[in-house]
Structure 1
Amino acid sequence: MVTNNSSLFDNFYIYVFVPILFLFAIYALFRACSIPGKLKYFFIMGGGFFIVLAMIALFFPIMGWELFAINPFTFFYIGIFVEQFVFALGLAYKVKEINFTLLQKSIENEQIKEEQNKILEEKLKEKEIENISVMAKAEEERVSRLKSKFENEIHHLHLTSLQNQMNPHFIFNALNSIKVFLIDNEKQKAVYFLNKFSKLIRSILESSNVEKISLEEELSILALYVSIENIRFEEDINFTIKNPENIDLQSIWLPSMILQPFVENAIWHGLMLRKGKKHIDLILSQSENAVILLIRDNGIGREESKQNIVRKSFEKKSIGLKITQDRLNHFNQKYGCNYFFKINDLENEKNLAIGTEIEFVFCFKQP
């Protein structure tokens, strides 16, 4: 709407436009109060200056007031300048605040980065130490396995060596018996002896290929051995195996031919020098923690045997018991057993020797 009525325009300007502009400025200041941080104070201060000076520039001419004879529009321009200056200060402050925050964040990030690097380095060191420890443990276990393997191989070779020493010793004695029959022209006894001997040799060879056999197999070989030796003594030796408690002999393992030297000594050092009936009794019993085997003979005893040199073949000290002890020690060490034996002298009420007893103890822990 266009009009030339200046009075109407003045009234519209004073009573409509100016109040609306004033209310809008107040609303802008109110909204500025919700701005976070200190930036709102710059907006309030700058807006406040502009509103006050703008009101002076508008109302003073209308009301006919004068202030220091200054043109009213000068106040308006001053208000704009002050507002812009204060806003510029606020923006500068905000930029400074943002830069400071960014700097603090950067410093914090750098500190966090350094802390994380330290933590990472510590963890890497821990992992490195852990890896070194694991590698050292693995190497130690590997060396231990190799050492155990080599020790087992050495023990096996040593056991084989000891067994190979014992078997020729026994075979030599058996061949001597065959030689005696042939010299005496007892062919039938020689043939019978050879049949028994060949069966025994086969049993010995089979047992030589293994490190351990059951007690049942061992006693079977031992009975065959005694039956061969008994031929030379005209069946004078009464050999018995007693197992009154029915102990499971297949569950007890031991080195092959470990009992033969004891029976051999009983025959050659005890019974051979005795007149009359000759006995070798093997008696099995069971205690709380072990199975006990007694090898009992009614020979002349150890003391009298030492004082008698009956044949030239006995001048050389038997190595059977020494080899037996060495084999038993290696067997115990390898399989964690506790097998042992002891020799008891049997005496009557008058303290006279009536034989010898070997007490052989087998623990229940089996290899």
Structure 2
Amino acid sequence: MSRRRAVLCLVMTALSVLDLVPVRSDQTSGDAVRATLSLAGVADELGYRRYWLAEHHNMPAVAATNPPVMIAMVAAATDRIRVGSGGVMLPNHAPLVVAEQFSLLEAAYPDRIDLGLGRAPGTDPVTSWALRHGGGGVSDDAVNHFPQYVDEIIAMMSLEGAGLSLRGGTHLLRATPHAIGVPTVWLLGSSEYSALLAAEKGLPYVFAHHFSGKGTAEALQLYRANFQPSPELAEPKTFLTVNAAVAESTEEAERLAQPQLHQMLALRTGQPLEAQLLVEDAEGRSLRPDQQQLVDAMAQKWVIGDPDAARAQIEDLAATYDVDEVMVNPVTGAYRGTEAATSPTREDTLRLLVK
């Protein structure tokens, strides 16, 4: 891609943020949440399009356990940016509860709320069991009912509500009374199943490119080729997600990416998980050749570099996958001595991308 082409693309490609609310070894959960609120404020000021919070459970390095709660906090701390879930793992929750939560968020922050839905557990099997049987009453078969649950949520959040057939009668269910707007529903996934389901239902779709960087082109092609227009959406709508570490120099960006790379190495190889390492601690750990090879392969799929190089990588991705929006997960770690309730290098990643 020519330099002129890259500059022209940069003007056209919108940027958004994905946040897992990482917890470093020097942080409490409260520190991590406060750092996220500061990061969201930076994204809002810089003109990022949307800010999505993930759902993961029982993980030492992730505080994003409850997207609706985090969305409420982030939306309250910002002024214009769209805030949403990336995503709510629907098999963990009763559809009515999700519909109620996001209808209330939309009522409080009109035209700013996105509801991204996924069907992965977002956790280990034991925690998944506790989520589904510890009070919520969601069945183990919830994954198979995912398409039905998506339809139910959309219907219950609609202005008309949904009819529930029970004991010979039809009962009206509304997620909230007197709604004047509804959140935008997105389907999220990392397989062809989710792409085809989003196309069938005529919903916007996001493939989790930041997971592994594999299968993205195939999933997006399936989505676009099979898309059926719906009342919610007339034509396919999607964007790209990517892990990003940006600093003033490529060498610095590579250093700052190490803690998250070590975290992903542990996750991929079944090692015990722990809070995210500080940069110096990650650098102090030696890796076997096979582990280093896996780390290097993951890093190749991420955006890591100085501002010019990082922006060029993002524009290449946008052009390759024909999207006009890229959602970055800022994965830069922190140095020893960083104030606990801050994440300055993650904020720098967002600032340097629009510098």
TM-score above 0.5, yes or no: no
Larger RCO, structures 1/2 (Cα 8 Å, 6+ apart): 2
Larger Rg: 1
TM-score under structure 2 length normalisation: 0.22
TM-score under structure 1 length normalisation: 0.21
